[in-house]
């Protein structure tokens, strides 16, 4: 991974691009404090704590078959700082997020029996329960059919427009250019951190010079 210097501000919609193995997921895990920085530091602005970041990771086959109800999965996003029981206000917040994501009618359904799109909605509701004002999303539309994928992107866009800061890893460059306001492109070459318009111009310059690969 090349060195990165980037600043994410409140209300941003940042898409993180780059080929497989470039370090995108490693960056996310570092922001979350799951692994230490290789070098440098991550500085959090006033009012933001690591435990207040909502995270939607990529799912493994085992996780897709997790034997829990929708309600149990979403509730797990409310558990912070080792707390084992939810307050009434936390349960109300969880229900609000489930309604927002359209999964409140399936509270007692088994998570593993849901479609891929439904599971992603449940996981997004779970991430919202943990999020104070920022969501980290790792390929949230991966494996979804085109219609459900577009639906997921629209949901994320609406969350951003409501004030939620978004950091999203994606291989979908078209979606990144359509929805994001900033792009972080990670590769073995120097990383780009640009506005969407500047990123488009830089890509055009590279293409004219015959450099089009990541």
What is the 3 state secondary structure string of 52-113? HEEEECCCCHHHHCCCCEHHHHHHHHHCCCCCCCCCHHHHHHHHHHHHHCCCHHHCCCEHHH
> Which has the higher per-residue pLDDT, 43 or 190?
43
What confidence score (pLDDT) does residue 204 get?
64
Confidence label for 156 from pLDDT (cuts 50, 70 and 90): very high
Q: Crossing angle, helix 116-130 and helix 88-100, to 10 degrees?
A: 140
Distance CA 28, CA 155 (A): 21
pLDDT digits (tens, 9 = 90+) for 132-150: 889 999 999 988 999 999 9
What confidence score (pLDDT) does residue 192 get?
84
What confidence score (pLDDT) does residue 212 get?
47
What confidence score (pLDDT) does residue 54 get?
92
> Which has the higher per-residue pLDDT, 18 or 208?
18
What confidence score (pLDDT) does residue 214 get?
45
Show the tokens assigned to 98: 């489930």
Give percent of the chain above pLDDT 90. Answer: 53
What confidence score (pLDDT) does residue 209 get?
57
> Which has the higher per-residue pLDDT, 110 or 83?
110
pLDDT digits (tens, 9 = 90+) for 18-72: 888 888 888 888 898 888 888 778 888 776 777 789 999 988 777 888 889 999 9
């Amino acid at each position: 991974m090349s060195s990165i210097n980037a600043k994410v501000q409140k209300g941003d919609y940042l898409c993180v691009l780059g080929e497989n193995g470039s370090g995108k997921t490693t960056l996310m895990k570092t922001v979350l404090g799951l692994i230490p920085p290789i070098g440098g530091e991550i500085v959090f602005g006033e009012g933001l704590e690591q435990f207040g970041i909502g995270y939607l990771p990529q799912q493994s086959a085992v996780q897709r078959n997790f034997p829990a109800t929708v309600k149990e999965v979403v509730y797990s996003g409310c558990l912070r700082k080792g707390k084992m029981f939810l307050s009434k206000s936390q349960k109300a917040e969880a229900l609000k997020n489930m309604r927002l994501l359209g999964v409140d009618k399936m509270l007692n359904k088994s998570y593993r029996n849901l479609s891929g799109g439904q599971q992603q909605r449940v996981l997004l509701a779970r991430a919202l329960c943990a999020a104070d004002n920022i969501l980290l999303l790792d390929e949230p539309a991966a494996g979804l059919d085109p219609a459900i994928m577009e639906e997921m992107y629209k949901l994320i866009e609406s969350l951003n427009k409501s004030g939620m800061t978004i950091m999203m890893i994606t291989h979908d460059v078209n979606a990144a250019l359509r929805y994001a306001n900033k792009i972080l492109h990670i590769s073995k070459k120097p990383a780009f951190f640009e506005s969407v318009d500047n990123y488009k111009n830089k890509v055009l310059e590279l293409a004219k010079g015959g450099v089009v690969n990541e």
